[in-house]
Amino acid sequence: MANLQQRIQEIEQNIQAACQQAGRDRSAITVVAVTKEVSAARASEMIEAGFDQLGENRPEVLLAKQQEIETGATWHFIGNVQSRKVKDVINRVDYLHSVDRLSLVKEIQKRASQPIDCFIQVNVSGEATKSGVAPDELQQFIEEVANYDKVRVIGLMTMAPFTEDMAMIRTVFRSLRELRDEISALQLQYAPCTQLSMGMSNDYSIAIEEGATHVRIGTALVGGAESEGDA
């Protein structure tokens, strides 16, 4: 695998090409560097390289990294969060990308010391194995969130299906954007819902073309566990 500088350069080029293709401004895209599989040392390198938005998906790993990393990173929790773990993470992260059920919203309400910026995870593709709110239940779900003032719905998040079918992936991303537009049109104060968290290593270009504001890039950017030491 290419070294870190090469990976950054390639991703930056791809992001700019996708922005150009879609007539979007590069500054509209936030890259969340997903460091869940690499060390705190590699995460620190990412910060030094200018990627200070870090994504983690396990509470223990998040806490361990935060103890080692002193420089100011912005933390995104991107994984499923078990209700009993909410208290461990909720006051240590800046964004939660994976709000997918009312029981989680209730637990956040109980444990958060201040309102937290959340993405509602939507299961656009409808796969049984995926978590997320069903598209046709989304509006009702978000209306219920009104009762819980610690959850600020800044946007929607989805995971594309695991497939080589790029047209299908694009359809999923486009559907999420349309859902985002429907919710934001409601002009709910607690749910501005302007953001779209979608796109990973294999599909971030498509996601950007379809309107992603946050791409969550792991292996293609930070490398995998096995690449540590090659940069």
Residue closer to ligand PLP, measured from CB, 113 or 166: 166
Question: Residue 156 CB, nearest distance to ligand PLP (Å)?
Answer: 13
Question: Residue 11 CB, nearest distance to ligand PLP (Å)?
Answer: 10
- Distance, in Å, from the CA atom of 45 to the CA atom of 202, rounded to the nearest integer, reads 22
Which one among 7, 36, 42, 180 touches ligand PLP, defined by CB under 6 A?
A: 36
Residue closer to ligand PLP, measured from CB, 151 or 217: 217
CB 95 within 8 A of CB 71: no
Does residue 196 interact with ligand PLP by CB under 6 A? no
Residue closer to ligand PLP, measured from CB, 44 or 158: 158
Instruction: Fill in the per-residue mask, 38 to 67: x = in contact with ligand PLP (CB under 6 A), - = not in contact.
Output: -------------------x----------
- Distance, in Å, from the CA atom of 25 to the CA atom of 47, rounded to the nearest integer, reads 23
Query: Helix (H, G, I), strand (E, B), or coil: what is residue 176?
Result: helix
Residue closer to ligand PLP, measured from CB, 166 or 186: 166
Question: Residue 185 CB, nearest distance to ligand PLP (Å)?
Answer: 27
Residues 63-122, interacting with ligand PLP (CB under 6 A): 78-79
Say which DSSP state 123 is in: -
Question: Which residue in this structure is represented by tokens 């996601």?
Answer: 207
- Distance, in Å, from the CA atom of 182 to the CA atom of 176, rounded to the nearest integer, reads 10
Opening angle at CA 14, ends 10 and 19, nearest 5: 150
Instruction: Fill in the per-residue mask, 198 to 227: x = in contact with ligand PLP (CB under 6 A), - = not in contact.
Output: --xx--------------xxxxx-------
For residue 102, give both structure tokens. Answer: 């009312």
- Distance, in Å, from the CA atom of 64 to the CA atom of 77, rounded to the nearest integer, reads 14
Does residue 156 interact with ligand PLP by CB under 6 A? no
Residue closest to 218 by CA, chosen among 54, 33, 3: 33
For residue 46, give both structure tokens. Answer: 């990412």
For residue 111, give both structure tokens. Answer: 């444990």
Which one among 19, 29, 31, 34 touches ligand PLP, defined by CB under 6 A?
A: 34
Residue closer to ligand PLP, measured from CB, 135 or 218: 218
Q: What is the largest CA-CA distance in the chain?
A: 49
Task: Note the residues at the interface with ligand PLP (CB under 6 A).
Answer: 34, 36, 57, 78-79, 159, 200-201, 216-220
